Amino acid sequence: MQSLNLDQTIAAWSSITETVFVPHTEEEYEHLVELLDNLIDQVGEDETHPLASMMDVIGVLIENYESEYVPELGQIA
């Protein structure tokens, strides 16, 4: 495994932190859903696409938000 170069990591993360983040509000969640939709349009099912893993990460962030904040259909009163 490569050693972590914090300077490079900080520079890279700083450039995407406004795009990829843990959503805490509905507005942030909706931003990530829109981003994922755009990535799906661009990447499709090409697992070798450079943005395929970003699509996976954003999908997990959305899933985690939904499991915490969005009630399941069976639980809606």
Q: Are 27 and 33 in contact (CB under 8 A)?
A: no
Per-residue pLDDT 10s for the chain (77 aa) are: 567 789 898 999 999 999 999 999 999 999 999 999 999 999 999 999 999 999 999 999 999 999 999 887 655 55
Residue 18 identity: E
CA 59 to chain centre: 5
pLDDT for 15: 92
Taking each helix axis as running N to C, give the angle between helix 26-43 and helix 52-69, from 0 to 180 degrees, rounded to the nearest 10. Answer: 150
The encoded tokens of residue 68 equal 């915490």
What pTM value is reported for the model?
Answer: 0.83
